[in-house]
Amino acid sequence: MYYSNAENFKGTTGYIIDDVWYPRVTSIINIKSKPALYYFYAELPSFRHGEDIKKQSADEGTKVHEAVQAILTGQEPEIDPTVLPAVTAFRKYLAENNIQVDPDFIEKRVVSFNERYAGTIDALALIDGRFGILDIKTSQAIYRDYNLQTAAYFPPLQEHFKNLQTRWILRIDQRERCLKCGSTRRTKGGREKIKRPVNNKIKGVNSTNCLHEWSEMTGEIELKEFPYWQDDYQAFLGAKKLWEWEHDYWLKQIGYL
Ligand SMILES: [Zn+2]
């Protein structure tokens, strides 16, 4: 990553809160290598292509986040048709499950004054009587890396909320399903990915040469709880140390180190 000057570095990687600069949790976590990204880029004609897909995919994620946060605060937002199946599935999930959210703690800034970093939580929620951090993802699966992020929010939030117990990832996604072979098709950032069923043969139809017949786009919701945050938090602090080492030139320039 290239930074043109100290202001550019500060703006790209952190927040200023009460005149003090703090590195962002998501910037820090980026120090961890993501081998899956090599495969992603390798399948594309150019690096630029990959950047465009990531950008568009992030925009789609933002649309889902905004819609979900509005719904959680009791509003009736207008939903962009491209994310409607996912948001509709979320509404249904919300109606069928015991989830309450404090409107004052949606998209809320969290600062660790002890360890000097800041981040933004999606929500604080009460789910089945347990109180915790709720983070929303629009990915095709729940990845372990997400736990670094929510662990970082835990200690600073716990100072304000002694009753903070747990954390969840709520995954909201949408895909089509082949009515003949069970393959799924997911379009993200303008790129389509077809996933064959694991055993490759459902109802005797081989998915390899199936002329797929796609269902309509259907939303899917997955909620997973990760109550044990301490090990993840230690890993986050390790990542932060490495991130500071990597950026010591700029961090010294701006007086952080
Ligand atoms: Zn098929």
Alpha-carbon Rg of the chain, whole angstroms? Answer: 20
What pLDDT shows up at residue 1? 77
Average pLDDT across each block of 10 residues of the chain; the chain has 257 residues. List them in order: 93 96 97 92 95 95 96 94 97 95 93 97 96 96 96 97 97 96 93 86 76 96 98 98 97 96
The SS3 assignment for 143 reads: coil
The SS3 assignment for 141 reads: coil
Distance 177 CA to ligand 1 centre (A): 8
The SS3 assignment for 257 reads: coil
Length of the chain in terms of residues written: 257
What pLDDT shows up at residue 207? 86
CB atoms inside a 10 Å sphere around CB 149? 21
Distance 224 CA to ligand 1 centre (A): 29
Distance 44 CA to ligand 1 centre (A): 24
The SS3 assignment for 192 reads: strand
Distance 220 CA to ligand 1 centre (A): 19
Distance 19 CA to ligand 1 centre (A): 57
Distance 196 CA to ligand 1 centre (A): 8
What pLDDT shows up at residue 134? 97
Q: Report the candidate in 41, 18, 15 with the shortest Cα–Cα distance to residue 27.
A: 15
Specify the fold of 6-253: Lambda Exonuclease; Chain A (3.90.320)
Q: 107, 120 in Cβ contact below 8 A? A: yes
Q: 89, 71 in Cβ contact below 8 A? A: no
Residue 171 tokens read as 């995954």
Distance 114 CA to ligand 1 centre (A): 54
Cα 124 to Cα 115: distance, rounded to the nearest angstrom? 22
Distance 197 CA to ligand 1 centre (A): 9
Cα 66 to Cα 249: distance, rounded to the nearest angstrom? 36
What is the model's pTM?
A: 0.92
What Cα–Cα distance (Å) separates residue 184 from each residue in 4, 180, 212? 43, 11, 10
Domain parsing of the chain, residue ranges: 6-253
Computed from CA positions of residues 206, 207, 208, 211, in that sequence, does the dihedral angle turn out positive or negative?
positive
Q: 107, 72 in Cβ contact below 8 A? A: no
CB atoms inside a 10 Å sphere around CB 155? 18
The SS3 assignment for 146 reads: helix
What pLDDT shows up at residue 201? 61
Contacts of 3 (CB under 8 A, 6+ apart): 9, 12, 250
What pLDDT shows up at residue 209? 87
Distance 187 CA to ligand 1 centre (A): 16
What Cα–Cα distance (Å) separates residue 252 from each residue in 14, 246, 256? 15, 12, 6
Distance 209 CA to ligand 1 centre (A): 8
Name beta bridge partners: 109: 120
Q: Report the candidate in 118, 152, 111 with the shortest Cα–Cα distance to residue 238.
A: 152
Distance 176 CA to ligand 1 centre (A): 11
Q: 32, 109 in Cβ contact below 8 A? A: no
Q: Report the candidate in 139, 137, 164 with the shortest Cα–Cα distance to residue 153.
A: 164
Cα 202 to Cα 183: distance, rounded to the nearest angstrom? 9
